[in-house]
């Protein structure tokens, strides 16, 4: 999917501007959709109109006044909006196909598989290969994240360092400020944040962009503010049936990056792996029977 054909944060601001120019009556009709997008995302125009105590023709006219060519485009926007504003309570409302805890466990794995399949179907392999070259040519690589996504940043940084690259994870406000202020156009910044975007990650990406770094976003929706800041965006769903986010797909995406980075200079990677293997066999870090 081309970036300019999907909804983004700038598009969302335009929609809200147009919403403000609707009549008071039409604003009240459509307001529940924006307050609870997940509840309406799968509704047909007829069902939506019934729930809004309106009629299909009026809903279509409002949708068009908001700038959408048709109802299908509005549904796509609601899908992105429901992802961006999802909460832990929203994800726990999924109804497992099985019963009890075993059914919930099975459904959890099914959701992860669905997220992974979506990544496999949409991932642009050529862009990953291009990014791999940029990682090798970068003076420094800064991986920006916070909160739960910090584990992804640390994982990614660890493996980049293992390959001999000059990488740093920035997972606190202080580290983000100090690592991004010294970036330049010779560096790469990877910003990882999902849904609406964590403030410290978004601001870190903004600083990296201002410093001229090549910025890569890892997120789950094109409504993320990171898509407007970064030069390129890679999507990985975090849908879950529990109170937490699922990082199965984001982890697979980072592994795809690491695989491509390792293959870009395969001879160098093989030399590094041999050294690592020797340390794994004989190193003092490992328990010996």
CATH number at residue 28: 1.10.10.10
272 and 133 share a domain? yes
Domain count, the chain: 2
Return d(Cα 269, Cα 162) in angstroms, integer: 9
138 and 67 share a domain? no
Angle at 228 between CA 227 and CA 232, to 5 degrees: 50
Q: Which of 75-79, 161-165, 270-274 has the lowest mean pLDDT?
A: 270-274
pLDDT (tens digit, 9 = 90+) per residue, 28-39?
999 889 888 888
Domain of residue 177, residue span: 118-282
pLDDT (tens digit, 9 = 90+) per residue, 110-127?
999 999 999 999 999 999
40 and 170 share a domain? no
Q: Is residue 278 part of a domain?
A: yes
Domain boundary among 85, 110, 126: 85
Q: What is the pLDDT of residue 4?
A: 36
Regarding predicted confidence, which is higher, 178 or 87? 178
Entry pTM: 0.77
90 band by pLDDT with thresholds 50, 70 and 90: low
Q: What is the pLDDT of residue 91?
A: 65
Q: Is residue 92 part of a domain?
A: no
Residue 53 pLDDT more than 60?
yes
Residue 240 pLDDT more than 80?
yes
Q: What is the pLDDT of residue 205?
A: 97
Residue 215 pLDDT more than 50?
yes
195 and 256 share a domain? yes
Residue 92 pLDDT more than 90?
no
237 and 157 share a domain? yes
Nearest to 88, CA basis, from 287, 242, 249, 232: 242
Q: What is the pLDDT of residue 88?
A: 67
Residue 3 pLDDT more than 70?
no
Burial of 17 (0-12, 13-18, 19+ CB in 10 A): exposed
Regarding predicted confidence, which is higher, 265 or 249? 249
Q: What is the mean pLDDT of the chain?
A: 88
Q: Is residue 78 part of a domain?
A: yes
Q: Look up the CATH number of the domain holding residue 242.
A: 3.40.50.10490
Q: What is the pLDDT of residue 201?
A: 97
Residue 2 pLDDT more than 50?
no
Q: Is residue 288 part of a domain?
A: no
287 band by pLDDT with thresholds 50, 70 and 90: confident
Q: What is the pLDDT of residue 129?
A: 94
Q: What is the pLDDT of residue 6?
A: 41
Domain boundary among 62, 85, 108: 85
Q: What is the arithmetic mean of pLDDT over 221-236?
A: 92
79 and 137 share a domain? no
Q: Is residue 252 part of a domain?
A: yes
Nearest to 241, CA basis, from 76, 57, 136, 114: 114
CA dihedral 62, 63, 65, 70 (to 10 degrees): -140
Residue 5 pLDDT more than 50?
no
Q: Is residue 260 part of a domain?
A: yes
51 and 135 share a domain? no
Give the other-Cβ count within 10 Å of 56's Cβ.
15
Helix (H) or strand (E) holding 192: strand 188-192
Q: What is the pLDDT of residue 266?
A: 77
Q: What is the arithmetic mean of pLDDT over 90-115?
A: 79
Q: What is the pLDDT of residue 174?
A: 95
């Amino acid at each position: 999917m081309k970036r300019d054909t999907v909804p983004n944060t700038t598009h969302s601001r335009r929609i809200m501007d147009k919403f403000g120019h609707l009549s008071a009556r039409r604003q009240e009709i459509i307001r529940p959709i924006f307050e609870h997008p997940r509840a309406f995302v799968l509704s047909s125009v007829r069902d939506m109109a019934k729930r809004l105590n309106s009629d299909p023709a009026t809903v279509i006219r409002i949708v068009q006044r908001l700038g959408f060519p048709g109802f299908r485009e509005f549904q796509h926007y609601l899908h992105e909006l429901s992802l961006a504003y999802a909460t832990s309570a929203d994800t726990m409302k999924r109804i497992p196909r099985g019963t009890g805890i075993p059914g919930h466990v099975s459904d959890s794995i099914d959701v992860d598989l669905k997220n992974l399949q979506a990544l496999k179907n949409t991932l642009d392999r050529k862009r990953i290969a291009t990014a791999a070259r940029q990682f090798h040519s970068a003076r420094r690589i800064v991986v920006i994240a916070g909160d739960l996504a910090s584990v992804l940043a640390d994982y990614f940084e660890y493996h980049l360092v293992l390959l001999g690259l000059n990488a740093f994870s920035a997972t606190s406000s202080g580290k983000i400020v100090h690592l991004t202020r010294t970036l330049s156009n010779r560096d790469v910044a990877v910003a990882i944040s999902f849904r609406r975007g964590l403030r410290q990650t978004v601001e870190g990406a903004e600083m990296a962009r201002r410093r001229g770094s090549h910025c890569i976003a890892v997120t789950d929706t094109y409504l993320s503010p990171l898509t407007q800041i970064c030069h390129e965006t890679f999507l990985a769903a975090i849908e879950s049936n529990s109170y937490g986010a699922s990082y199965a797909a984001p982890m697979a995406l980072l592994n795809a990056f690491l695989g491509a980075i390792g293959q870009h200079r395969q001879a160098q990677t093989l030399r590094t792996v041999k050294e690592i293997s020797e340390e794994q066999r004989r190193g003092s870090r490992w328990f010996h029977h």
